[in-house]
A and B are shown apart, each in its own frame.
Chain A
Amino acid sequence: MKFNKKIKNLLIILVSTLALSACAAGKKSGVGSSDVYTGNDTVQYLASGVKDRVFFATNRSSLTTASRDTLRKQADWMRKNKKLNVVLEGHGDERGTREYNLALAEKRANAARDYLLTYGISGKRISVISYGKEKPVNSASTPLAWSQNRRAVTVKTK
């Protein structure tokens, strides 16, 4: 009887521990890339197969695997077109304070810039500008619109 009770208590502790660690892990991953836009509706192309923009999670400036793939293609395209310069425009969604969004959008554009630099593109060919939340590509107030607006767009300058 006592033995059974001990096992029961151990099981309760084990289940509680597992539940708590699952909660912690869930919280961490939920903040990550779950709300990053993955469609192509707003995307334009710099050249065949070279998308002009990458998307971000809410309040985040880290690049997703898909974003890195897009930027690698942009770097290839820039290497083949050595006279081209670009502006990286950073943007945010409407669900944040304005000053913070200006800073966050700047950080997003710089994350994209830094990735292009690691693929051998000269920093002299890339300038960065932040528009914060002032230039949404989709002005609706929906999670889909917000995800499309959290972006860094590469724009040709010449």
Chain B
Amino acid sequence: MSFAKDGNSDIYTMDLESRLVEKITEDSSIDTSPSYSPDGKYITFNSDRSGLQQIYTMKSDGSGVKRISFGEGLYGTPVWSPRGDLIAFTKVRGGKFYIGVMRSDGSGERLLTENFYQEAPSWSPNGRLLVFYRETKSGKNGEGFTAKLWSIDITGYNERELKTETDASDPSWSSLLSK
């Protein structure tokens, strides 16, 4: 999780049994949006320690911090795929928001969809689809937003809206549940 303490945001872990909270990033920059690798050995997060918001990985004890995004623009909300091979992210470049994926070492970046504003991808359990939310202007004069959930295949095809009765945001796809 990320906490803001004394005016600065860092990544912390909490032991669910003991409730012991431990700070694992120690930097004066903003560190937010942590996501564990499926084996629990690594964490990806975004930080502006390089000057602009980028994606990093580290071991789950906070050691071995490594920047993995180097493309043009800002990178945020990294989420490790259930298969461990890819990291999904939101990218902001040239006034547009993109949902994309890259390998966990930062190589092979692919942008799947672009829009005025969209973010917060979440993986399907089989690692083939992403669900995210997109906001579009709802008023005639450009005021107000409508937020809806969308999904897209990691090939970049089959982008579609998931119908909800009301506005919806911040989707989180569950793992497979036993019946």
> Which interface class (under 10, 10 to 19, 20 to 34, 35 or more) fits A?
20 to 34
Answer yes or no: B32 CB below 8 A from chain A CBs: yes
Q: A2 to nearest B CB, angstroms? A: 44
Q: Which residue of B lies closest to A94 (CB)?
A: B117
| A99: contacting residue among B2, B51, B95, B117, CB under 8 A | B2
Answer yes or no: B74 CB below 8 A from chain A CBs: yes
Q: Is the CB of B51 within 8 A of A31?
A: yes
Answer yes or no: A106 CB below 8 A from chain B CBs: yes
Given known A103-B4, A113-B7, A141-B116, contact A96–B32 (CB-CB < 8 A): no
Q: Which residue of A lies closest to B119 (CB)?
A: A97
Answer yes or no: A21 CB below 8 A from chain B CBs: no
* Segment at the interface with A among B17-25, B59-67, B106-114, B136-144: B136-144
Answer yes or no: A57 CB below 8 A from chain B CBs: no
Complex: A39 Cα to B97 Cα, angstroms: 28
Complex: A113 Cα to B52 Cα, angstroms: 23
Q: Which residue of A lies closest to B3 (CB)?
A: A103
Q: Is the CB of A100 within 8 A of B33?
A: yes
Q: Which of B30, B46, B116, B120 has most A Cβ within 10 Å?
A: B30
| B30: contacting residue among A95, A100, A140, A141, CB under 8 A | A100
Contacts of A98 in B (CB 8 A): 119-120
How does the 8 Å CB contact mask read for A121-151 relative to B, with 1 for contact and 0 for none?
0000000101000000001110000000000
Q: A26 to nearest B CB, angstroms? A: 15
Which residues of B pack against A, CB within 8 Å?
2, 4, 6-9, 30, 32-33, 46, 48, 51-53, 74, 76-77, 90, 92, 95, 116-117, 119-120, 137, 142-144
Extra 18 A-B pairs, beta carbons < 8 Å, given A96-B92, A98-B120, A139-B143: A94-B117, A96-B53, A97-B46, A97-B119, A99-B2, A103-B2, A103-B32, A106-B7, A106-B9, A109-B7, A110-B6, A110-B7, A110-B8, A113-B7, A114-B7, A128-B7, A130-B4, A140-B142
Give the 7 A-B residue pairs with the shortest CB-CB distance, closest first: A110-B7, A97-B76, A103-B9, A103-B30, A99-B32, A106-B4, A139-B143
17 CB < 8 A contacts A-B: A59-B48, A59-B52, A95-B95, A97-B74, A97-B76, A97-B77, A97-B120, A98-B119, A98-B120, A99-B2, A99-B32, A99-B76, A100-B30, A100-B33, A106-B9, A128-B7, A139-B143
